[in-house]
Structure 1
Amino acid sequence: MSKDETKLSLTTKIFIGMIAGIVIGVLLQVGNYLIGDLDFNIFSMTFSTYGFFVEGIFHAGGKIFVNALKMLVVPLVFVSLVCGTSSLSDPSKLGRLGGKSIALYMLTTFVAVTFAMASALLFKPGVGFTPPPSTAEFVPKESPGFVQVIIDMVPSNPISAMAEGQMIPIIVFAILFGISMTHAGEAGKRLTSFFNDVNEVIMKIVTIVMNFAPYGVFCLLAKLAAEVDSSAIFAIINYFVNVLFVLILHAVIVYPLLLKIITGLNPLILLSKMKEVAMFAFSSASSSATLPLTIATARQKLGVSRSVSSFTLPLGATINMDGTAIMQGIATVFIAQAYNVDLSTIDLLMVVLTATLASIGAAGVPGVGLILLALVLQQVNLPVEGIALIIGIDRLLDMTRTVVNVTGDSTIATIVAKTEGELDEEIYHDRTLANKKSVIE
């Protein structure tokens, strides 16, 4: 067996870090309860066992990982949005085809995050959960009024907005910057090439940071397990079930209904032909990595024309992050409930708006959802450290929401193709193609 075959995947490493962190944290808490804190000496200095690990190593390791996530928020969203907007704003693409695709993607994302937050407010997964003492004293800032929110969407100083992590103004400025690049001639083309290169570098930084995720997860969960009571386990399970329920609901109810209402096509055919794509998306947790297979399946099994699939599906892999929006909506409400913070109507609207707009800049690679969650939490003045409450189980949810994302991409592509007369319905209705392996061109 080769070295590559025996190498553990990032998913496996994160699961190992999660389990190890919980076990070590529980053992420290039980040991501290049964036999009390023990002291030991290092270099003539006395340390307590519990304090050295929980408040020292685990606290520092977890904090560094959270800071690394926060570090990437502004550059990732700004550069990704500039690249995405400059591409979408190409005059040759901003016709009827682009308008339909963008409108449908934004509609499904808006519905996704709205349903997610409604579910979290209804089932209250974070109620009764006691946060760790180190962050339980969090005091939220007072939310601005609705008029001020609208005014603040346009930054008076974009550099200041970036320094302070004000995401809505950053998103607005990035979109304007990207659109302007397409109308700036040769200068715009040079800048587009530059930002595409910068985007590649930032994605590499994301990969590097996520490679440290197993250690960050270990430290965060070890500290969490050492400090919280048993109510945390039930609260996290409640959160997991809540997210999974809304993801499944969105994939098997919302998308099929949208397809049936607009086109009249049988959505069960589409879902059956998406099996191969869904399995690959689940294993890779990356809609970008799945894109070649998604395009091949749309053309060969769903009958979507080359012109529609080559535009709509890459666009969807860039801006259609319904699964991520669902996670962000539920996670935000969960963390607010855990910290006993009452989100105002304005806060809830800001979460919907931020999650919807941020999906435009959400690169289709594993782990980006957590970074975007950090920006949503910052936007409504919730502690980013709350990510520690859900990060351990996020990898499995990340794999599931990638399936939702690629299913949404294919559904929208089929709808656009049908309404544009670019769908081969003979291919679409051929059920024998459901079990045929797609050939990536």
Structure 2
Amino acid sequence: MQFRYTLTVLIGLFIHSFITIPALYVMLTRKNPLNIFKYIMEGGMAALGTSSSGAALPLSINGMEQLGGLDERVTRFVLPLGANINMASSYFYHQNNLRDEIRDGCALYEAVAVIFIAQVNNVQLGFEQIITVSFTATIASLGLNAVPVGLVSIFLILNTVGLPATEVPLLFAVDWMLDRIRTSLNVFGDGFAASVVETALKV
């Protein structure tokens, strides 16, 4: 069951990060999205290793400026902003080891987690409930940046659809891996955002 859950999250993150965002980038800038991955690869790998987009920030800025040629006024505003705004903690896999680096993938991750918990409890969510879960997860990922949101919002979302929270610990076993992947993909997303802003300012 956990394998299917993990696979679903990974597929969702892959589609979001390597199809949806690059497609939007091409539509907005008419540029090759593969270049962004090249520019910010070092920062993304650092985020994967440290599970912290903040720790990877200097490498991200350097890559976008030195390799991508972006204006430092853009990179030094957009990238730090992206590394801090809308931050949402992951589920903690240790009581004193909270992670706080999920933004792009947070809403997707939490929505999938709630659907997974519903399936564990043999509860069939209707279309309206799935919309409610998606909306609540999105709002939580946008608004609660000063608290461990992954922990807080998962209970909030479960409550909105009347599901018990007793199965949340099932997610802890795989969260350490998903957390690092989400963080790394968030860094790539920040790089796309910086390039879009620079393109818009030059128009």
Tell me the TM-score normalised to structure 2 length: 0.81
1:376-414 deviation line (CA, Å, top 9, x unaligned): 223322222221222111110000011111111111111
Letter in 1 for 2:66: Q
Q: Which residue of 2 aligns with 1:346?
A: 128
Extract unaligned runs of 5+ from structure 2: 88-102
1:13-53 deviation line (CA, Å, top 9, x unaligned): xxxxxxxxxxxxxxxxxxxxxxxxxxxxxxxxxxxxxxxxx
Letter in 2 for 1:412: A
Q: Which residue of 1 aligns with 2:62?
A: 296
Could you tell me how far 1:351 is from its partner in structure 2? 1.7
**Structure of higher CA gyration radius:** 1
Q: Secondary structure at the match of 1:411?
A: helix
> Structure 2 matches for 1:405-416, cutoff 5 A?
405-416=186-197
Q: Distance in 1 between matches of 2:157 and 2:117?
A: 11
Contact conserved, 2:44 with 2:60, CA < 8 A, in 1?
A: no
Return the match for 1:332 from 114, 124, 149: 114
Q: Which residue of 1 aligns with 2:90?
A: none
Letter in 1 for 2:16: H
Contact conserved, 2:86 with 2:143, CA < 8 A, in 1?
A: yes
Return the match for 1:319 from 64, 80, 86: 86
Could you tell me how far 1:242 is from its partner in structure 2? 1.2
Extract unaligned runs of 5+ from structure 1: 1-234, 423-441
Q: Which residue of 2 aligns with 1:68?
A: none
Q: Which residue of 2 aligns with 1:281?
A: 47
Could you tell me how far 1:264 is from its partner in structure 2? 0.7
Return the match for 2:166 from 362, 380, 385: 385
Q: Distance in 2 between matches of 1:361 and 1:291?
A: 22
Letter in 1 for 2:132: M
Could you tell me how far 1:260 is from its partner in structure 2? 0.9
Could you tell me how far 1:310 is from its partner in structure 2? 2.7
Q: Distance in 1 between matches of 2:136 and 2:121?
A: 21
Letter in 1 for 2:54: S
Q: Which residue of 1 aligns with 2:91?
A: none
Q: Which residue of 2 aligns with 1:308?
A: 74
Q: Which has the higher contact order (CA 8 A, sep 6+)?
A: 2
Could you tell me how far 1:279 is from its partner in structure 2? 0.9
Tell me the TM-score normalised to structure 1 length: 0.40
- Whether 1:403 aligns to 2:184 is yes
- Whether 1:239 aligns to 2:5 is yes
Contact conserved, 1:282 with 1:400, CA < 8 A, in 2?
A: yes
Change (3 A) 1:285 1:302: same
Q: Distance in 2 between matches of 1:407 and 1:396?
A: 17
Change (3 A) 1:370 1:294: farther
Return the match for 1:266 from 13, 32, 48: 32
Q: Which residue of 1 aligns with 2:98?
A: none
Contact conserved, 2:140 with 2:149, CA < 8 A, in 1?
A: no
Could you tell me how far 1:332 is from its partner in structure 2? 0.9
1:168-188 deviation line (CA, Å, top 9, x unaligned): xxxxxxxxxxxxxxxxxxxxx
Change (3 A) 1:291 1:361: farther
Letter in 1 for 2:134: V
Contact conserved, 2:158 with 2:164, CA < 8 A, in 1?
A: yes
Change (3 A) 1:415 1:238: same
Change (3 A) 1:327 1:345: same
Change (3 A) 1:377 1:290: farther
Contact conserved, 1:362 with 1:368, CA < 8 A, in 2?
A: yes
Contact conserved, 1:278 with 1:406, CA < 8 A, in 2?
A: yes
Return the match for 1:355 from 123, 128, 137: 137
Could you tell me how far 1:363 is from its partner in structure 2? 4.5
Q: Distance in 2 between matches of 1:275 and 1:349?
A: 34
Q: Secondary structure at the match of 2:167?
A: helix
Q: Could you tell me the percent identity over the aligned residues?
A: 37
- Give the CA RMSD over aligned residues: 2.3
Change (3 A) 1:364 1:261: farther
Contact conserved, 2:39 with 2:64, CA < 8 A, in 1?
A: no
Q: Distance in 2 between matches of 1:303 and 1:374?
A: 44
Letter in 1 for 2:35: I
